[in-house]
Amino acid sequence: MLVYVLHGPNLNLLGSREPDVYGRLTLEEINRALVALGDELGVDVRCFQSNAEAELIDLLHEAGRKAGAVVFNPAAFTHYSYALRDAVAAVGLPVVEVHLSNVHAREEFRRNSVITPVAAGQISGLGLDSYLLGLRAVVARAFEREGS
Amino acid sequence: MLVYVLHGPNLNLLGSREPDVYGRLTLEEINRALVALGDELGVDVRCFQSNAEAELIDLLHEAGRKAGAVVFNPAAFTHYSYALRDAVAAVGLPVVEVHLSNVHAREEFRRNSVITPVAAGQISGLGLDSYLLGLRAVVARAFEREGS
Amino acid sequence: MLVYVLHGPNLNLLGSREPDVYGRLTLEEINRALVALGDELGVDVRCFQSNAEAELIDLLHEAGRKAGAVVFNPAAFTHYSYALRDAVAAVGLPVVEVHLSNVHAREEFRRNSVITPVAAGQISGLGLDSYLLGLRAVVARAFEREGS
Amino acid sequence: MLVYVLHGPNLNLLGSREPDVYGRLTLEEINRALVALGDELGVDVRCFQSNAEAELIDLLHEAGRKAGAVVFNPAAFTHYSYALRDAVAAVGLPVVEVHLSNVHAREEFRRNSVITPVAAGQISGLGLDSYLLGLRAVVARAFEREGS
Amino acid sequence: MLVYVLHGPNLNLLGSREPDVYGRLTLEEINRALVALGDELGVDVRCFQSNAEAELIDLLHEAGRKAGAVVFNPAAFTHYSYALRDAVAAVGLPVVEVHLSNVHAREEFRRNSVITPVAAGQISGLGLDSYLLGLRAVVARAFEREGS
Amino acid sequence: MLVYVLHGPNLNLLGSREPDVYGRLTLEEINRALVALGDELGVDVRCFQSNAEAELIDLLHEAGRKAGAVVFNPAAFTHYSYALRDAVAAVGLPVVEVHLSNVHAREEFRRNSVITPVAAGQISGLGLDSYLLGLRAVVARAFEREGS
Amino acid sequence: MLVYVLHGPNLNLLGSREPDVYGRLTLEEINRALVALGDELGVDVRCFQSNAEAELIDLLHEAGRKAGAVVFNPAAFTHYSYALRDAVAAVGLPVVEVHLSNVHAREEFRRNSVITPVAAGQISGLGLDSYLLGLRAVVARAFEREGS
Amino acid sequence: MLVYVLHGPNLNLLGSREPDVYGRLTLEEINRALVALGDELGVDVRCFQSNAEAELIDLLHEAGRKAGAVVFNPAAFTHYSYALRDAVAAVGLPVVEVHLSNVHAREEFRRNSVITPVAAGQISGLGLDSYLLGLRAVVARAFEREGS
Amino acid sequence: MLVYVLHGPNLNLLGSREPDVYGRLTLEEINRALVALGDELGVDVRCFQSNAEAELIDLLHEAGRKAGAVVFNPAAFTHYSYALRDAVAAVGLPVVEVHLSNVHAREEFRRNSVITPVAAGQISGLGLDSYLLGLRAVVARAFEREGS
Amino acid sequence: MLVYVLHGPNLNLLGSREPDVYGRLTLEEINRALVALGDELGVDVRCFQSNAEAELIDLLHEAGRKAGAVVFNPAAFTHYSYALRDAVAAVGLPVVEVHLSNVHAREEFRRNSVITPVAAGQISGLGLDSYLLGLRAVVARAFEREGS
Amino acid sequence: MLVYVLHGPNLNLLGSREPDVYGRLTLEEINRALVALGDELGVDVRCFQSNAEAELIDLLHEAGRKAGAVVFNPAAFTHYSYALRDAVAAVGLPVVEVHLSNVHAREEFRRNSVITPVAAGQISGLGLDSYLLGLRAVVARAFEREGS
Amino acid sequence: MLVYVLHGPNLNLLGSREPDVYGRLTLEEINRALVALGDELGVDVRCFQSNAEAELIDLLHEAGRKAGAVVFNPAAFTHYSYALRDAVAAVGLPVVEVHLSNVHAREEFRRNSVITPVAAGQISGLGLDSYLLGLRAVVARAFEREGS
């Protein structure tokens, strides 16, 4: 089974960007850890980063056709992109929304996600673990769907 | 006269995406019906779909140079894209906003359109008819402008 | 099939009342255009205007017994008459809400309709066309219901 | 002693209108049950239904002159008719507001009653029992007033 | 010149209704005082009271055809009747809104008038004087219009 | 059949606490009246008062196992105890929420109940009658369920 | 009897300042008209203008000691000066708040007066007449108090 | 190392309570799965359930003295218990908040957690996995703290 | 005379809990200082701490029977416990609400106290002095009541 | 050490102004009590009253240069004078905000203080004691600063 | 041409007041820089500081008679002084509002300016440059007006 | 030093688009003026316009690597693009936000910028001067950083 991991805008700067908020890991290191855990769980993990809402929509549509589950960090789009929300709702897959930082402990606007209501769930505040646990969660859900 | 019909994000999935909300017609079928009605009304209808806000802005600018009217379904952009609002306001053409579903009978956030205040009007909830009636409306307005 | 067209309060003044907002057509002219289009579509159109909420409720109840569809311009009642909302919901017919002016481009309070959530859809901002397209829409829906 | 029971707009459709919300009892059946309970309690019950706010105001004024208590289901007027609120406040009688359905478990707007703050109390969600218990309550209050 | 004085819902009860709020004057006494002042100012004053929104709309329309000015106490309709607001806006006459009590010193909801924005002005809190001063104001405005 | 009557915080002070708001009846007198009415209706009424949210949750759970219906006055918990709301929702019984005073005529915060949306209904403002009518209502509902 | 007329900030510019909003009368002309009407009504009118909140507070205190009534146009202080509100409440005199323009038909913030709730009443939108009618109203009230 | 798992109000009913929302697993089954995973991760897991806010506060204080990490499902207390928030903030341990259901896809009030801003992070919507992943996350954090 | 000092949830941790917010004094030290000041003022001070809302309610009821005044730090309950508010209102004693930290200079939610409106007053931000001054205040008030 | 006591607008009327709210003590009596307590505490108390925001700003600046602490009753300025807030923040002294009445138990607007967030603390509702306890508090804080 | 530079409340403390927010420049240094730039631009710059709203109003009126442009830092008055807003609107000159600090990055209340809507524009966050660029801007606008 | 000037969506239409709002200058003319001023200030100015949020994010990232400062007109993105906000925050450069029109004097939604809180400052309402002064400001800041 294929799992898509989608990283939203500005995450390409991870490691150098505001390290007290986002940590010192680079995106590449996160991706490597996800692929490794994928191997362990028996799934093929493919990671994509984009600053473009439209590309993320296209990737969600593509995941709908090719993959069995999605781990999605919408970054700043979390708070306003109803287009991504509709894409998540349109795709018939388990999607877990993840955030590196605890979005509930920062600026007020970060507390609202327009996407979570149509996702399977949300994991936030656990750094790299947000992604790894997110991967475990969607894989479990996807296998369950396959089995049923 | 040329009429542009613009479809916003996720509408490429029409027919398969949440069919109880959006119906079973595909986008191609909608486009064919619009072109056919355009023939009947004596206008040349060109249909475009994009998941990218910037492409829709560019198409609105292009319509401003080439077309006489626009039928516009901004989909999820309806609720936050002030950039599309400004593009509609900048283009000196009759623009009618259309929605397949009754946006006023769904989630609260769908009730607010940032675009309607600068459009000529809005038609919602009538499925394919939202588009066809929208086409009739803009064509009538465009011929009126030509005549005056 | 019978189609009721209901005009709400102050619409009896059309033509003379604030013509830059509502245009110069009189209600009689609108009604004649609707009857003519009804002929073309093969339905019998009956038009009523009332300044009284209770009369409009009674007319909706009557439509529920006698007609196949309703075109309804609730005028100012749009913004507060939950009694009319309940009447629309109680009547098992396709009802399309129409407005001459673009209610979304005027005072803030005009943006909220308490009726649209229980109507089939809304058409606004297209002057006489709001009514004519509304008639086309409800007739299509009513025939579809009959056929199904 | 005379007790007025006032039914607001659309309640004439009871039994056929949205039966999963309002039940299958007709208004006539409710009225008969109220008259029967009135007999048991030793009061003369008179029931009125109107879709017109003004008629309900007039009936409240009339009750103020002729009756000892009022059971009032303002239906949709509950949520906006400050005119009925003022009429209830003007009438020096025990008035209990009743609702067939649990207005607190439906659309947000149904949670607010502009009338309860000037009524003696509110009973909601208990179907026919809302009326019957309301009648018991106002009769008890009215006899108490007579006695004191 | 003819001046219409319109009294809204529940004002027929004046004198007996909540006298600490509304005073002990009856409506008839107010009307007599208005007619007397009208004589003094050289205008013909006609007073109407109605509990029905639709009748007040009709009276405003009639005033538009027959009278030169209107003194209007919308009572509870002040706070929600957009239909009366539209009627006031539609009528091309000086309309002054008056209130016996100081609506700004009572319940929160009474502070908002949906009608004042389209009236010439508002006078509140001065009991009978609210009416008499309102009459003076509209007469002055009406004569000014005639003269200009 | 067993019916639980639950009294929330501070109701142990009834009779002495703010008697113009809550009346002069003691809790014991209320309980005696409820037991007497229970006898009349053929049910076994058991009354509990607690100032502790957790005890009320436990009593609701216990009622779910042992009783057929619940009359519940959550007192101040009405306005914030989502834990009690969840307990009411979890218990598969008819629960009627009752209040001695008219909570809608007091401080603003008392108008909102977090519990009513999951209860069968609400009765407020009728003093002892709120309880007695509540008992009648839940007993009727419980017998209906048994019968069906 | 002495009547104080107090004019708030920027009213010294009347006649030249935004004449389509405030008219072409100068403050001096308004004062002369007030003094003349005062003569007619048998009271001594003294007019003061100040751009300083503290001076207006002092003048209200002084009025409390020397005058029988106050006509007060707080101008922009209307919308935020709780200090003036407290001064009006502290002074045991009839105070009528007046405004030249219809404050309810302008920017949203002008609709709220922090002062009216403690004044006797408000007159707005009637230009010079707002002041003259305000003078009539307070004089009537003051004589009434004297007489009682 | 010791890890406390705290279950809030009504979770003792898991398995029977609203199974479409909360699933069919019992609390005991969840606890067994947590203990098993704890064994695998080399930590000693102790599970507690309480319907009492005060007991949960005491357990958090105790964890502060005895344990290295906490997995906390505050259930309905999530939405209002500032006392639990203060207890989480007072305890110097990694605390992860977990929810079985997707709290962001249910009633509006469930979207707000007063606790997350002082927790390390939140996991919601993943059923049993919310707990298991939460355990993994706090254990990783606790070992990291020990190591540093 | 007996004075109750009640400390709300988490205050048992004082001295170790977030010392930059709450200072380094332990609860015991605060209690000793209060007893000492009580001696000086001629009153018997009894101090209680509880994490349980119900225990604090019971202590307030007990104070109502045994004590002459109450110093109350409701801690986090300040912001939501309407049950404690009702208990304070029910108890016929001078109650002063105190806070160690300046609750108005912290998170937004801490600015609102549901209890102050029914207390005699509030003292916040002065550390130990908040308690000591609170004790002086209630003792003065209690002696005044005794004397009168 | 010098301590400034600043009294805001309308407090010069104390004793005669709304005595049920503010008590019967005059400002002079309050000042005398403060000076006497100052003697006892070993500080020199200077009292100022002003109705002018600018004078109070100047006095705060002067206190910053000459005094060791400030007791400040901003009266109505409490609710809107951000200029006084900035002055308090700019002055590097302990400032305690005091109110005679319980501002939290009166009109809604009185619950918000724009000044407390930058003051050391707030004391309200204790009449003269609010001032005396405020003086004790600032003196303690000022001596502590001196000592450290 | 004459240009007025107006500094609002507390700006006399610049250099010593909260230097991390407002910098270490004194007001005198700012004024010297402005006069120097004025020389360069060929205008005569006059600088005024006042803590009194009324003085600033008077200075704006005076500018209206004597100067060609105004640079205005309203400081804390920015957020509530509608009287200054009206003065800016009344004066027929280019007025640019300036702020030393980035008011949009501080407390929420500082984000709202009641004055900008009637000013030509706003410059904030650039320290001394806010003033210097503001001077350049108003001078350019004033010369343009002169030229046209 | 290199300075990037970024123009957001629809600014390519400058000169023809709504000229009463945005003026008659074309974007090319603005760019030429900026380059000329750059020459004068000794910096190399590069101007970019894009209708695509993602391109603007990429350009900000590129500026972070290549340039010393940014002048940014986010146009409609100002009001909702948290992705651009995060990009501005991630880039360690002085960024000044500029607007041609006075965004505070237009539709309500234009008053809120999600970007200013992380920018150095904002300049609005000064047409071409907004850009030129913005360039002066960032250049001064960038040289200061270089020097320090």
Helices G53-66, J53-66: inter-axial angle, 10-degree rounding: 120
DSSP K14: T
E80 is catalytic: no
With beta carbons less than 8 A apart as the criterion, state whether A98 and H84 touch: no
Give me the active site residues of G, please: 22, 99
* Per-residue pLDDT, H22: 76
Q: Convert the pLDDT of each residue in D1-11 to its tens digit.
A: 999 999 999 99
For chain L, the first-to-last Cα distance in angstroms comes to 15
Q: Convert the pLDDT of each residue in D2-41 to its tens digit.
A: 999 999 999 999 987 777 777 789 999 999 999 999 999 9
Minimum distance, in Å, between the CA of residue B19 and any CA atom of chain A: 10
Residues in L touching K71 (Cβ below 8 Å): none
Q: Convert the pLDDT of each residue in D94-127 to its tens digit.
A: 999 999 999 999 999 999 999 999 999 999 999 9
What count of other Cβ atoms lies within 10 Å of the Cβ of residue C144?
A: 10
- Average pLDDT of G77-94? 96
Interface of H with F (CB under 8 A): 8-10, 12-13, 17-18, 50-55, 75-77, 79-80, 109
Residues in L touching B54 (Cβ below 8 Å): 9, 50-55
Q: Convert the pLDDT of each residue in D121-133 to its tens digit.
A: 999 999 999 999 9
Q: Convert the pLDDT of each residue in H102-125 to its tens digit.
A: 999 999 999 999 999 999 999 999
Nearest to G107 by CA among K89, K110, K75, C101: K89
Question: Are the beta carbons of D55 and C54 separated by less than 8 Å?
Answer: yes
pLDDT band at L148 (very low <50, low <70, confident <90, very high): low
Nearest to K81 by CA among K125, K113, K120: K113
Interface of D with F (CB under 8 A): 96, 102, 104-105, 111-113, 116-126, 129-130, 133, 136-137, 140-141
Interface of G with E (CB under 8 A): 96, 102, 104-105, 111-113, 116-126, 129-130, 133, 136-137, 140-141
Q: Per-residue pLDDT for C109 more than 70? A: yes
Minimum distance, in Å, between the CA of residue A32 and any CA atom of chain L: 23
* Per-residue pLDDT, D113: 96
pLDDT band at F148 (very low <50, low <70, confident <90, very high): low
**Contact I/L (≥3 CB pairs under 8 Å):** no
Q: Per-residue pLDDT for I138 more than 90? A: yes
* Per-residue pLDDT, K106: 92
Q: Per-residue pLDDT for C69 more than 90? A: yes
Residues in C touching E54 (Cβ below 8 Å): 9, 50-55
Chain F: touching chains (3 or more CB pairs < 8 Å): D, H, I
Choose among C113, C124, C141: nearest Cβ to B121: C124
Q: Which residue in the list A7, A61, A79, A99 is annotated as catalytic?
A: A99
Helices A128-147, H128-147: inter-axial angle, 10-degree rounding: 150
pLDDT band at G89 (very low <50, low <70, confident <90, very high): very high
Q: Per-residue pLDDT for J24 more than 90? A: no
Helices D82-90, D53-66: inter-axial angle, 10-degree rounding: 10
What count of other Cβ atoms lies within 10 Å of the Cβ of residue G73?
A: 23
Burial annotation K131-141 (CB, 10 A radius, 16+ → b, else e): bbbbbbbbbbb
Minimum distance, in Å, between the CA of residue D60 and any CA atom of chain C: 17
Choose among K18, K75, K109: nearest Cβ to J89: K18
Most J CBs within 10 Å: which of G82, G113, G115, G116, as the mutation test of the J interface?
G82
The whole-chain average pLDDT of chain L stands at 95
Rounded CA separation F85/E92 (Å): 55
- Average pLDDT of L53-68? 97
Minimum distance, in Å, between the CA of residue K57 and any CA atom of chain G: 7
Q: Which residue in the list H82, H99, H104, H131 is annotated as catalytic?
A: H99
Interface of K with J (CB under 8 A): 8-10, 12-13, 17-18, 50-55, 75-77, 79-80, 109
* Per-residue pLDDT, J146: 81
- Average pLDDT of I78-88? 98
Look at the domain J2-146 and name its fold. Rossmann fold (3.40.50)
Residues in H touching A129 (Cβ below 8 Å): 136-137, 140
Question: Are the beta carbons of L50 and B52 separated by less than 8 Å?
Answer: no
F112: exposed, middle or buried (Cβ count in 10 Å: 0-12, 13-18, 19+): middle
With beta carbons less than 8 A apart as the criterion, state whether C99 and C125 touch: yes
Choose among G51, G52, G109: nearest Cβ to K82: G109
Question: Are the beta carbons of G129 and E113 separated by less than 8 Å?
Answer: no
The whole-chain average pLDDT of chain K stands at 95
Rounded CA separation I10/I6 (Å): 12
The nearest alpha carbon in chain G to K114 belongs to G109
Residues in I touching F80 (Cβ below 8 Å): 80-82
Nearest to H61 by CA among I10, E61, I82, G19: I10
Q: Per-residue pLDDT for C92 more than 80? A: yes
Nearest to C120 by CA among B99, B23, B124, B73: B124
Minimum distance, in Å, between the CA of residue I117 and any CA atom of chain F: 11
pLDDT band at L56 (very low <50, low <70, confident <90, very high): very high
Choose among E10, E52, E54: nearest Cβ to D87: E10
Q: Convert the pLDDT of each residue in A31-74 to its tens digit.
A: 999 999 999 999 999 999 999 999 999 999 999 999 999 999 99
Residue in this structure with the two tokens 């400058």, named with its chain if needed: L14
- Average pLDDT of C54-68? 97
What is the token pair recorded at B29? 């079928």
Q: Per-residue pLDDT for G48 more than 80? A: yes
Please report the number of interchain residue pairs, chain D to chain E, with beta-carbon separation below 8 angstroms. 48
The nearest alpha carbon in chain J to K110 belongs to J82
Tell me how many degrees the CA angle I11-I14-I20 measures, rounded to the nearest 5.
120
**What is the pTM for the complete model shown?**
0.95
pLDDT band at K148 (very low <50, low <70, confident <90, very high): low
Q: What percent of chain C is predicted at pLDDT more than 90?
A: 89
pLDDT band at L147 (very low <50, low <70, confident <90, very high): confident
Most B CBs within 10 Å: which of C71, C104, C114, as the mutation test of the B interface?
C104
Q: Per-residue pLDDT for C3 more than 90? A: yes
DSSP G109: G
pLDDT band at A146 (very low <50, low <70, confident <90, very high): confident
More reliable by pLDDT, K21 or J102: J102
Rounded CA separation K100/K127 (Å): 4
With beta carbons less than 8 A apart as the criterion, state whether A51 and L57 touch: yes
Residues in I touching J129 (Cβ below 8 Å): 136-137, 140
* Per-residue pLDDT, D123: 98
The whole-chain average pLDDT of chain E stands at 95
- Average pLDDT of I52-60? 98
The residue ranges of DSSP E strands in C55-143, in sequence order, are 69-73, 95-99, 121-124
Give me the active site residues of B, please: 22, 99
Question: Are the beta carbons of F57 and H109 separated by less than 8 Å?
Answer: no
- Average pLDDT of E27-37? 97
pLDDT band at E148 (very low <50, low <70, confident <90, very high): low
DSSP D109: G
Question: Are the beta carbons of K51 and J54 separated by less than 8 Å?
Answer: yes
Which phi and psi (to 5°) does residue H72 adopt? Answer: -130, 120
What count of other Cβ atoms lies within 10 Å of the Cβ of residue J109?
A: 14
**Which value does ipTM take for this structure?**
0.94
Nearest to C80 by CA among D6, E78, E116: E78
Question: Are the beta carbons of B116 and C122 separated by less than 8 Å?
Answer: no
Q: Per-residue pLDDT for A1 more than 80? A: yes
- Average pLDDT of C46-65? 98
- Average pLDDT of F90-98? 95
- Average pLDDT of G54-83? 98
Residues in L touching B57 (Cβ below 8 Å): 9-10, 51
* Per-residue pLDDT, H55: 98
> Identity (one letter) of the amino acid at K77?
F
Rounded CA separation J48/H110 (Å): 51
* Per-residue pLDDT, B148: 62
Rounded CA separation C34/C48 (Å): 12
Q: Per-residue pLDDT for J9 more than 90? A: yes
Residues in E touching D85 (Cβ below 8 Å): 76
pLDDT band at E86 (very low <50, low <70, confident <90, very high): very high
pLDDT band at H148 (very low <50, low <70, confident <90, very high): low
Minimum distance, in Å, between the CA of residue E95 and any CA atom of chain D: 21
Minimum distance, in Å, between the CA of residue C29 and any CA atom of chain D: 30
